Structure 1
Amino acid sequence: MTFRTTKGRLCASTATLIVIGAASGAYAQEGEGYLGTIVLGEGKRSVQTDTAVPVTVVDQAEIEDRQAGTIAELIETVPGVTLVNGTTAAGSGINIRGYGANSTYGTDGKVLVQIDGAARGSEELYRIGSQLYTDPFLYREVEVLRGSVGSFEYGSGVFGGVVRLETIDASDLTKGELGFAGRQTLEFSTNGNGLASSTTLAWQPDEQFEVLFNYSRRQLGVRTDGEGNQINPDAGDIDDPSGLLKARYTFGAGNDQFVEFSYSKTQQEQFDVPYDQFGTTAFGNVDRYIENEVATLRYNYNPGDVAWLNVTAELLYSDELVESEAIVGPNPLLDADNRYRTTTFRVKNEALFSTGTIDHELRTGIEFIQRKRTDASAGSAPGGTKEALAFYAVDEMQIGDRWTITPALRYENQTITQDPINGNASYDKDALMGGVSARYAFGNGWAVFGSASYTENLPIIDDIDTGLITQSEKGRSYEIGVAYDAVDVFRTGDSLAFKVNYYNDHLTDLTTYQGRGPGTTVEGLDREGIELEAAYAMQNGYYLDANVHISQGTATFDGGAQGDWAQNPQDSLRLTLGRKFSDELDLSWEVEAAKRYDEGGTVSPGFGVHNLRATYVPQNGVMEGTTIRFGVENLFDKTYQPRLSTRNATGRTFKVTLSTTF
Structure 2
Amino acid sequence: MLNRHHRLALLACTAFVTLAGAAISHAQSITSNETAAAEKQGRVTPLKTLTVRTGEQEGVADTPLASQVTEQELDDNQISSFEDLGRTLEPGVYFNRENGSVNIRGLDGPRVLTLIDGIAIPYLDDGARDADGGIDSFDFSELSTVDIVRGADSSRAGGGALGGAVVLRTLDPEDLIGEGRIWGGIFKFAYDGEDESLGGSAAVAARYDNTAVLFQGGYKKGHERQTGGDNGAYGTGRTEANPADFDQNNVLVKVKQYTDSGHGFTLTGERFDRDEDTDLRHAQTGATYRPGEWDGTEVNKRDRISLNYEFEATDDDALFDAANAVFYWQDLIRESGTHGVRYATPAGDYQRLSEVEDRGFGSAGYVEKGFDAGYFHHTVTLGGDFYINTTTQYSSGKDSCGPGPYPPFSSCNFLHSNQSDMPDVESKRFGIFVQDEIAFGETGFSLTPGLRYDWYEHSPQETAAYSRNPNYNGLPDGQDGDALSPKLLAKHQATDNIELFAQWAMAFRAPTATELYLDYGAPGTYLRLGNPDLKPETSSGVEIGANLGDTDFGGRITGFYNRYRNFIDSVDAPVQDPINYPFGVTQYMNRNRVQISGVELAAHKIFDSGVTLRGSVTYALGKDLDTNERLGSVAPLKGVLAVGYETETWGTELAMIAAKDVSEKSDASFKAPGYGIFDLTGWWKPGQVEGLTMRAGIYNLFDKEYYDAISVRDVTLTSTGPGRAFYSEPGRTFKFSLTQRF
C-alpha change, 1:547 and 1:419, in structure 2 (3 Å) is farther
Q: Determine if contact 2:131/2:334 at 8 Å carries over to the other structure.
A: no
C-alpha change, 1:660 and 1:441, in structure 2 (3 Å) is closer
The equivalent residue for 2:253 is 245
Asked if 1:174 corresponds to 2:177, the answer is yes
Q: Determine if contact 2:433/2:450 at 8 Å carries over to the other structure.
A: yes
Instruction: Report the 3-state secondary structure (helix = DSSP H, G, I; strand = E; otherwise coil) of the residue aligned with 2:73.
Output: helix
Q: 1:74-129: CA deviations, max 9, x gaps?
A: 245324222223xxxx96431110000xxxxxx1x110001111111223344345
Q: Partners of 1:444 and 1:198 in 2: how far apart?
A: 39
Task: Give the CA deviation at 1:162.
Answer: 0.3
* Structure 2 unmatched ranges of 5 or more: 1-54, 233-238, 396-418, 467-474, 518-529, 577-585, 713-726
Q: Determine if contact 1:52/1:451 at 8 Å carries over to the other structure.
A: no
Instruction: Report the 3-state secondary structure (helix = DSSP H, G, I; strand = E; otherwise coil) of the residue aligned with 2:114.
Output: strand
Task: Give the CA deviation at 1:144.
Answer: 0.5
Q: Determine if contact 1:640/1:649 at 8 Å carries over to the other structure.
A: yes
Q: Determine if contact 2:452/2:485 at 8 Å carries over to the other structure.
A: yes
Aligned residues: 585
Q: Determine if contact 2:68/2:147 at 8 Å carries over to the other structure.
A: yes
The equivalent residue for 1:365 is 383
Q: Determine if contact 1:118/1:317 at 8 Å carries over to the other structure.
A: no
Asked if 1:655 corresponds to 2:720, the answer is no
**Amino acid of the residue matched to residue 290 of structure 1?**
N
The equivalent residue for 1:411 is 453
Instruction: Report the 3-state secondary structure (helix = DSSP H, G, I; strand = E; otherwise coil) of the residue aligned with 2:152.
Output: coil
**Amino acid of the residue matched to residue 564 of structure 2?**
L
Asked if 1:586 corresponds to 2:651, the answer is yes
Asked if 1:190 corresponds to 2:193, the answer is yes
C-alpha change, 1:462 and 1:51, in structure 2 (3 Å) is closer
Q: Residue 429 of structure 2 is aligned with which of 388, 393, 399?
A: 388
Task: Give the CA deviation at 1:440.
Answer: 2.1
The equivalent residue for 1:257 is 263
Task: Give the CA deviation at 1:456.
Answer: 1.8
Asked if 1:321 corresponds to 2:326, the answer is no
Q: Partners of 1:290 and 1:409 in 2: how far apart?
A: 36
Instruction: Report the 3-state secondary structure (helix = DSSP H, G, I; strand = E; otherwise coil) of the residue aligned with 2:634.
Output: coil
C-alpha change, 1:363 and 1:91, in structure 2 (3 Å) is same
The equivalent residue for 2:274 is 268
Asked if 1:596 corresponds to 2:661, the answer is yes
Q: Determine if contact 1:596/1:607 at 8 Å carries over to the other structure.
A: no
Q: Residue 302 of structure 1 is aligned with which of 288, 298, 312?
A: 312
Question: Could you tell me the TM-score, scaled by structure 2's length?
Answer: 0.73
The equivalent residue for 1:130 is 133
Task: Give the CA deviation at 1:386.
Answer: 1.3
Q: Residue 550 of structure 1 is aligned with which of 603, 606, 619?
A: 619
Q: 1:520-549: CA deviations, max 9, x gaps?
A: 964321111001122222233222222211
Instruction: Report the 3-state secondary structure (helix = DSSP H, G, I; strand = E; otherwise coil) of the residue aligned with 1:74.
Output: helix
C-alpha change, 1:47 and 1:597, in structure 2 (3 Å) is farther
**Amino acid of the residue matched to residue 269 of structure 1?**
D
Q: Residue 55 of structure 1 is aligned with which of 62, 66, 71?
A: 66
Q: Partners of 1:290 and 1:486 in 2: how far apart?
A: 40
Q: Partners of 2:366 and 2:63 in 1: how far apart?
A: 23
Task: Give the CA deviation at 1:464.
Answer: 3.2
Instruction: Report the 3-state secondary structure (helix = DSSP H, G, I; strand = E; otherwise coil) of the residue aligned with 2:571.
Output: coil
Task: Give the CA deviation at 1:509.
Answer: 1.4
Q: 1:413-472: CA deviations, max 9, x gaps?
A: 111111222537322211111211112233374443211111221222123333344421
C-alpha change, 1:327 and 1:194, in structure 2 (3 Å) is same
Task: Give the CA deviation at 1:590.
Answer: 1.3
Q: Residue 462 of structure 1 is aligned with which of 514, 518, 537?
A: 514
Q: 1:620-639: CA deviations, max 9, x gaps?
A: 43x11211111111111111
Instruction: Report the 3-state secondary structure (helix = DSSP H, G, I; strand = E; otherwise coil) of the residue aligned with 1:591.
Output: strand
Q: Partners of 2:105 and 2:594 in 1: how far apart?
A: 12
C-alpha change, 1:313 and 1:645, in structure 2 (3 Å) is closer
**Amino acid of the residue matched to residue 262 of structure 1?**
T
Asked if 1:344 corresponds to 2:409, the answer is no
Q: Partners of 2:184 and 2:496 in 1: how far apart?
A: 44
Q: Partners of 1:276 and 1:435 in 2: how far apart?
A: 50
The equivalent residue for 1:436 is 488
**Amino acid of the residue matched to residue 356 of structure 1?**
G
Q: Partners of 2:230 and 2:307 in 1: how far apart?
A: 47
Q: Determine if contact 2:227/2:241 at 8 Å carries over to the other structure.
A: no
**Amino acid of the residue matched to residue 242 of structure 2?**
D
Instruction: Report the 3-state secondary structure (helix = DSSP H, G, I; strand = E; otherwise coil) of the residue aligned with 1:566.
Output: coil
C-alpha change, 1:410 and 1:46, in structure 2 (3 Å) is closer
Q: Partners of 1:92 and 1:391 in 2: how far apart?
A: 29
Q: Partners of 1:332 and 1:408 in 2: how far apart?
A: 55
Q: Residue 527 of structure 1 is aligned with which of 596, 602, 623?
A: 596
Instruction: Report the 3-state secondary structure (helix = DSSP H, G, I; strand = E; otherwise coil) of the residue aligned with 1:512.
Output: strand
Q: Determine if contact 1:382/1:462 at 8 Å carries over to the other structure.
A: no
Task: Give the CA deviation at 1:365.
Answer: 0.9
C-alpha change, 1:323 and 1:554, in structure 2 (3 Å) is closer
Q: Partners of 1:448 and 1:300 in 2: how far apart?
A: 30
Bigger CA drift: 390-399 or 297-306? 297-306
Q: 1:577-612: CA deviations, max 9, x gaps?
A: 222213x22221211111134532553211111112
Q: Partners of 1:427 and 1:479 in 2: how far apart?
A: 33
The equivalent residue for 1:154 is 157
Asked if 1:474 corresponds to 2:538, the answer is yes
Q: Determine if contact 2:131/2:355 at 8 Å carries over to the other structure.
A: no
Q: 1:122-155: CA deviations, max 9, x gaps?
A: 2334434531122110101000101123x42221
Q: Partners of 2:556 and 2:434 in 1: how far apart?
A: 27
Q: Partners of 1:192 and 1:447 in 2: how far apart?
A: 42
The equivalent residue for 1:210 is 212
Asked if 1:499 corresponds to 2:556, the answer is yes
The sequence identity of aligned pairs, in percent, is 21
Q: Partners of 1:147 and 1:474 in 2: how far apart?
A: 13
Asked if 1:567 corresponds to 2:578, the answer is no
Aligned CA-pair RMSD? 3.1
Task: Give the CA deviation at 1:265.
Answer: 1.3
Q: Determine if contact 2:126/2:393 at 8 Å carries over to the other structure.
A: no
Q: Partners of 2:708 and 2:628 in 1: how far apart?
A: 25
Question: Could you tell me the TM-score, scaled by structure 1's length?
Answer: 0.82
Bigger CA drift: 170-179 or 596-605? 596-605
**Amino acid of the residue matched to residue 439 of structure 1?**
K
**Amino acid of the residue matched to residue 464 of structure 1?**
L
Task: Give the CA deviation at 1:232.
Answer: 6.6
Q: Partners of 1:553 and 1:255 in 2: how far apart?
A: 51
Q: Partners of 2:603 and 2:377 in 1: how far apart?
A: 30
Instruction: Report the 3-state secondary structure (helix = DSSP H, G, I; strand = E; otherwise coil) of the residue aligned with 1:172.
Output: helix
Instruction: Report the 3-state secondary structure (helix = DSSP H, G, I; strand = E; otherwise coil) of the residue aligned with 2:157.
Output: coil
C-alpha change, 1:182 and 1:498, in structure 2 (3 Å) is closer
Q: Partners of 2:350 and 2:122 in 1: how far apart?
A: 22
Q: Determine if contact 1:394/1:409 at 8 Å carries over to the other structure.
A: yes
Q: Determine if contact 2:652/2:683 at 8 Å carries over to the other structure.
A: yes
C-alpha change, 1:205 and 1:328, in structure 2 (3 Å) is same
The equivalent residue for 2:394 is 376
